[in-house]
Copies of this chain bind each other. A is one copy, B any other.
Amino acid sequence: MLSIGIDIGGTKILGATVDSQGQVVDKKKVKSPAQDSNAMVEVVSALINELSEEAGEIEAVGVAAAGFIDAAQSTVLYAPNLSWRNEPLRARLEERVGRPVVIENDANAAGWAEFKFGSAKDYGSMMMLTLGTGVGGAVVADGNLMRGGFGIGGELGHISVVDEGLPCGCGRLGCVEQYASGTALLREANLLADSSDPLGARLRELRDEAGSLSGHEAYQAVQERDPGTLQLVQRAAEHLAVAMGSLVAVLDPEVFVIGGGLSELGESILGPIRSAFESQLPAQGFRPVADVVLATHSNQAGVIGAADLARRSLGKL
């Protein structure tokens, strides 16, 4: 039986019809009216109805959004990029689509897709770390997605790794997101290019050529094995590994899945993360070592996970 998954982003909304094996059988992308919450409800409802009509019979509908979802999976408590505050999204959507809808945090949905159908499908417990604009996360323990007591768990980018460190948008200091996101890597790349350090020479060249440093230039510098850029990747990996060591202390996952834009660096970032992680293990040598692997799904993880979690949630009703 098919389910529908929707992934609401700041610039676009992806909708998909997904089968029980996590395969996308149909998809549609529409522009996100991010700053207009009424328009958002209309656009998402229309997308669900359209996919539903085309699919025929539908089992469940899951909607993922970047924000804090309450424990009842009904209300978006806060969505920094989507102008939502205490938005009763579930009720508003159900009214318009005439069937039950399940709301999920987008990183949790993407993590679930990796656990159920992707890189972690052979494990019983997992933590996912998504290194993109920020650092996102998802936690699966004993085969269950851990949403948190109030619904706002899995925000793994906000583990503090540097005391009195860089200020984070969340209000804390030294969050790992400030050191191991794509944004942080580009910030450090620009600082290195700005400096007179010989290690910044290649980044300076690339910036002069392109006008500015983006993920594209950073990726190129890493492919060229530029020592300055590799050092920045190494430092990002070391900060991430501090958080991973602490996560082992808390929930001792069998595998870490690394996703997001930075994961496109492949082994160039996975290698440094793995070795830094092993040195951050509490009681190293006396415990099994978790695997560290790259994510399988990319942009579609959110819709696949949302669709499957919705199916699973109905099964529990």
Interface of A toward B, CB cutoff 8 Å: 68, 77-78, 123-126, 137, 139, 141-142, 144, 146-163, 165, 168, 170-172, 174-175, 242, 245-255, 280-284, 286-288, 290
Question: Measured between alpha carbons, how far is A148 from B252 in the docked complex, in Å?
Answer: 5
A252 engages B141 (CB within 8 Å) = no
- Ordered nearest first, which 8 A-B pairs have the shortest CB separation? A148-B252, A125-B149, A149-B254, A158-B282, A158-B249, A153-B252, A78-B286, A170-B282
Each complex incorporates copies of this chain amounting to 2
A250 engages B250 (CB within 8 Å) = yes
Q: Given B123, B156, B170, which contacts A283 in the complex, CB threshold below 8 Å?
A: B170
Give chain B nearest CB distance to A207 CB in angstroms: 29
Question: Measured between alpha carbons, how far is A245 from B246 in the docked complex, in Å?
Answer: 13
Q: Which residues of B contact A152 (CB under 8 A)?
A: 248, 252, 287
Q: Is the interface of A mostly helix, strand, loop or mixed?
A: loop
Q: Given B124, B162, B251, which contacts A139 in the complex, CB threshold below 8 Å?
A: B251
Listed A/B pairs (9) with beta-carbon separation below 8 Å: A78-B283, A141-B141, A150-B287, A152-B248, A153-B249, A155-B250, A170-B284, A250-B250, A250-B251
B250 engages A154 (CB within 8 Å) = yes
What residue of chain B has the Cβ atom nearest to residue A85's Cβ? B286
Question: Measured between alpha carbons, how far is A160 from B242 in the docked complex, in Å?
Answer: 7
Q: Which residues of B contact A250 (CB under 8 A)?
A: 137, 139, 153-156, 159, 247, 250-251
Q: Given B77, B174, B281, B282, which contacts A286 in the complex, CB threshold below 8 Å?
A: B77
Question: Measured between alpha carbons, how far is A246 from B243 in the docked complex, in Å?
Answer: 9
Question: Measured between alpha carbons, how far is A270 from B163 in the docked complex, in Å?
Answer: 22
Given A158-B246, A171-B283, A246-B158, residue A141 in contact with residue B146 (CB < 8 A):
yes
Given A170-B282, A171-B281, A282-B175, residue A252 in contact with residue B150 (CB < 8 A):
yes
What residue of chain B has the Cβ atom nearest to residue A70's Cβ? B288
B149 engages A252 (CB within 8 Å) = yes
What residue of chain B has the Cβ atom nearest to residue A238's Cβ? B163
What residue of chain B has the Cβ atom nearest to residue A255's Cβ? B149
Given A163-B162, A172-B245, residue A150 in contact with residue B288 (CB < 8 A):
yes
Given A251-B153, A280-B172, residue A148 in contact with residue B125 (CB < 8 A):
yes
Give chain B nearest CB distance to A23 CB in angstroms: 27
